[in-house]
Each structure stands twice: as C-alpha cells, then as structure tokens.
Structure 1
Amino acid sequence: MFQSYDGLCGIGELAGRAGVSVKTVRFYSDNGLLPEASRSAGGHRRYGPGSLERLRMIRSLRTMDLPVSSVRRILDEDDTTGRAGGALEDAVAGQLRTLGSQLKALRWREAALRSVQESPAAERAGRLRLIGAVAAPPSTAPLARFWRGWLPPRMPAGSVTAFLEAAVPQPPDDPDPGQVLAFAGLCAMVTRPCDGDEPTQPHAHKAAGARASAVLYAGLAEAYDLAGTEMRQDREPGPGDALDGFVDAYASARDTADTPDFRRALAQQLAADPRIDRYWELTAELVSAPGGRPEPTPGTAHDWLLTALRSQSGPR
C-alpha cells in the first residue's frame, strides 16, 4: 500500500520502487499494459496499489524478451481469470522456438567460420563464396526443388513427399565444419546450370502414368531400407529380400514378370542410366557422424542393389 493520503502513488515513486525508469513506466502506460488509476489536478499520472506488482510482472515478461503483444495477452488473461495460464504457456513455447532457431543459426555460422579458418589459404576465398551462399540456419528448399523437377510428372503428392523425406538430407543442428561444407556443396550442385545436353533422369522415369511412378518409388524406398540394413552389417551385395523387392518395384511399375531375362535387361539399363554420385557422396558426409561409419543413402543403397543384380544376372 502506498503511503499517500489517497493510497495512490505518482509515476516517479512507482518507477523507483520497481527499479525502472520513469520513461519505462510511461511507455507501458501508453501501450495499455499499466493502467493509471487517475490523474492529479496538475495532470500527473497516479497509480493504484496493484500497479507495483503488475509492473514487476511486466518487467519479468519483458526480461524474457517477450513482445509487447504477448505481454498484453498474458495480462488480459490474468485480469480475467486471476492467473496467467494458456497465454503464458503459448508465449514461452513460441519464444523457445525462436531461441532454438537462433541457436541453430549461431552454431551453423560458427562451424562455417571454422571451415573457412581451417582451410588452406589458397582455398579460403572459394570456400567462403561456397558457404556464404547458404543461409543460416540452412534451408533444404533448393534440394527439394531439384528433386521435384527430377521426379516423374504426375506422381501423387504422397509419393513425392515420401521420396523427398528419403532423398533430401536434413542439416544437423550442431554441425561440424565438414558437414557445413558438404551441405553447401549440395546446394551449389542443385542450383548451378546443367552442363551439356546429357540426360539427367533415368530410364525408369519412362514408366507410364502416375500410378506406375508411385508403385515404382514406393517399392524402391522399401528396397533401399532393406539394403541399408544389409550395408550396416557389412554384408556383400547378394540375393535376398532387398534385391527381390528392388527388381519387383521395376517389374510392377512396368506390369511385367520378374524373370531372369528381365533381370539381365534391367541390370544393363540401370548400369547405363545417368548418375549423380556426387550428390550421394555429399549426403553421406552430411548425415554420418564425424569419424563414424558412413550412413547408407538412397544412392549408396541403389549401388549396392545394382551390384547384387549384376552379379546375379551375369552375361546372357
């Protein structure tokens, strides 16, 4: 309770008790966060007994860097219900998301700077240009656009989404310099103009219609998962469920039977298809733990399965 005759206090006394400046109190009042009880005959602001606690709450919320709009919603809820509930929870959750994004960006910038610092002097300018073209935190949008243009037309949206989840690597939250360099290399690879008139898509994309494309890529995704399990166990390419599923994906998309002749023809066709090995090499560098075993990617799984198919098919 203020000691004045009317139980109210002026802006200077309120600011002094709360440990803030008069300018701060005036700002909160002008923005409707700290209502005045009345004005003196001389036009000076007067505040009621609850103003000090309210001002301290505002100060605490602002210390957490919450915007004025969020503070207003929290105070309005407190005025209505007598407690800060959902509005406070939402504001804190939103601020945590913002801080998480900021921390990710800072970790990414730190690793990028270390990558430039640790490179040979003759390579620093080029590496700086490569890494500097990537935003922080990084976005996978360029990779997704590349694959959307690469996939067969008219594929169902669900099939496209499933393929992108497998083909587009997510940059780590706490990368090392090598992972930053690998992701920058991927972005540069998918955004630069294509050289020459060489085809960039495999013959498998000639499967007719949206249904055939969906069948093909759903089957390939399952086969790649099975092959990845074999690769993690250091098993050599060979016959098994992974290879059978791999061949069946192509056979089902073409509405034909899985026969020895089909396998021989498929092995020859896939061996002649255009390749983007560098994409998968960089992907492996990005998703694998530093110094650890390389994680299988759809590209390396495809190579494992193709090797198994060729060794099984043999010459006609």
Structure 2
Amino acid sequence: MNGVTPLHSIGELSARTGVPVRTIRFYSDTGLLPPTDRTPAGYRRYGDAALGRLHLICALRELDVDLATVRRVLDGDLSVAEVAAAHADATALHIRALRLRHSVLRLVALRGSSTEETVLMHHLTRLTAHERRRMVADFVVGLGTGTPHSRSAVTALRTALPELPDEPSDAQLAAWVEIAELIADDGFRARLAQTALPPADEGALPGVYPETAAELIPFVRQTVAAARAAGVDAEGDDAVPVVDAVVERFAAVLGRHDGPDLREWMAGQFEAGHDPVVERYWRLVWTVNDWQVIPGHLPFQPWMVQALRRPRPAAHG
C-alpha cells in the first residue's frame, strides 16, 4: 500500500451509490461527472471526489433541480443554499397548485358537474388574483350606471369585495365559483342593483305606512337576532313564544286580530321585503373572505317566514 486512493470503475460506483450504470455514464458524457482517470484500455475510473460529486448530483436531481442548475452548482456559480431557496419557493407554488387542483376535482365530483361546468370551474380557479379582482370590479362598476339606487348598491358592494386567498379551503373555492357564476348572470345583476342593501326599516313592510313599518321592524329584527344568538330553531318549539311576541306587537300596532290570516299576511310581507338570492351572494362573500357570521347582521325575514308558517301545536282543553 503506497497511500494512493483507489479508483473505482463505473460498476463499482454504481454498486456503492445505487445509481444505474447508464445514468452514471450519461452524467459523465455531459460533463457533470468527469472521470478522474482512464485505464490504458480507455475505461473510466473515479476517485472519492467523484463519488461525493455523484451524491450531490443525485440529491439535487431528486429535489427536481434541472441539469443546467446542477451544472452551475458544480461549477461554483451557485451555492446549494441559493438553489435550495429558489426551489423551495417553486415547490411551494407547485404544492399550492396541486392543492387547488385537488379542491377543483373534489368540487366537480361533489356537484356532478357537466363537461361545460368543469371547463368553466377550471378556468375560474386558474385566474390570477389580479384577474379575479378585475372581474369583480368590472361587475360592480357595471351596476353603477343605472339609477341612484343602483349607485348606492355599488357603494355597499365595494365595502365587501370577495378576495379568494392563495390557498383556499374547499368551501372558499366552492363559494368563489358560485359567486363567479352569479355575477355572470344578467338576472342576478338586476336583482343586486335593486337589493344589495337591506331595505330601510320604513321600506321593509311594503304593505303598511312607512311610519308604521319603522315602528315594527326594529322590534322584529332585535327579537330574531336574540333568538338566533340563543340557538332557537325557527321550526322548533322554542320559536313559538318568539313568534307570538312578534305577532302580538303587530296585532297591537295594526289593530288586527292575532290569527292565521294575520300570520300569513306577515309572512307574505317579509317575503316581499327580502331577496334570498342576494342574501346568498353575501353569505358566499363571507365564506370566501373567511368572515364570521354575526346573527344580528343576518336578514330576519327568512327566520320569521319559516317560524310563522310552522304548524302551530293544537290547543288542549
């Protein structure tokens, strides 16, 4: 033994690293792994430095670093840390894209989407944040070209624009797709231009004088908000005293008898003063923006209509 480090053949290098001979030969032919020496017969031989170089090449390739970048690292033009930072960012983007793709696939499966719907969802979810904001902004601006009421609606909409996060949940993605479908619908545009804002107290009961409505509506709104906050189901037994209190107030103010006719009239009035599709839009915005739903901010009409039309328990006596 003279202290000279032994050289390895391609076969020995393959056995020590697990890298196929064909791959090692390819790296050698492209200059990434030049042989340390050659035998008189022309066979390549590799020293321990080449062994370390091969380990680095394999590690970078398994991390999906391209060959041109691997060469720059080996030549000393880039550090491993610099490459790692750049590829960490690229990998994060790739993971984000895969998560979004996964969510889209689940949404397509859940909705049983047609071919056209699938293509549309794929397009909508691939929009950049800037493109999404532009689409919503164009929709809102288009609403403001009509009546003073529609311009007021625009002001309200601008205070709460939907902003899909970079890594949305399945619920946020589904809500965003539904919002995009709504704002592309001309019929919805017309409805939103008229009812983006909840009606004022004096306009929430179309069938009574504004002064009378302004006296009744705050009581209804507060009563329903308290019931919701307490977890009272509109169709449960706990809703009975809530409804009775509201009907009693209406009967007293309107000078009418508490009975089926008054209750059905109230339900019809509340329905006329509420647009469920517009409410749906606002709920979708809350979902996309991950905002907490506050019971007092929810329209009171759906709860009251449901509770008023619930069959009353038979009286016993």
Structure with higher Rg: it is 2
TM-score (norm 2): 0.49
TM-score (norm 1): 0.49
